[in-house]
Amino acid sequence: MRRTGPTNIWLRLLASRLIKYSNIYKCKVWRRIATDLLKPSRQRVAVNLSLIERSTAGGLTVIVPGSVLGSGQLSKPVKIAAYRFSATAKRKIIEAGGQALTLDELLEQNPKGKGVIILR
């Protein structure tokens, strides 16, 4: 059986853009996120807000190479970048004073990937 990768063209374009920025800025973070995004959908990461609450301090930038789900509470202002957010997760992040960014937006704000944490 031949592995073909994701068929979602937007996901493939995002992964190629992440690899491009990884090569330009010599930053391994973007390549790691691209390889995680190119995994089969069953192996892609789904992180709840409760895990983000437990494992981060306020004011950090967290990258989730998958989905952020709304289970749990968030009491700290955290900037979270992910491929996809559930509606409740986005609402809870904004209510806590944080930001919910797409990976493209974070890539434009921080092309060198400094000061980010990858949650898997």
* CATH number of domain containing 101: 3.100.10.10
Residue 110 pLDDT level (bands cut at 50, 70, 90): very high
At 76-98, the pLDDT tens digits run 999 999 999 999 999 999 999 99
Residue 41: inside a domain: yes
Distance CA 31, CA 54 (A): 26
Segments forming the whole domain that contains residue 66: 9-118
* 60, pLDDT greater than 90: no
- Return all residues near 83 (Cβ < 8 A) that are at least 6 apart: 11, 14, 37, 44, 64, 65, 66, 67, 102, 103
Residue 3: inside a domain: no
What is the number of domains present in the chain?
Answer: 1
Residue 100 pLDDT level (bands cut at 50, 70, 90): very high
Residue 89: inside a domain: yes
Residue 82: inside a domain: yes
Distance CA 67, CA 89 (A): 10
Position 41 scores a pLDDT of 87
Residue 65 pLDDT level (bands cut at 50, 70, 90): very high
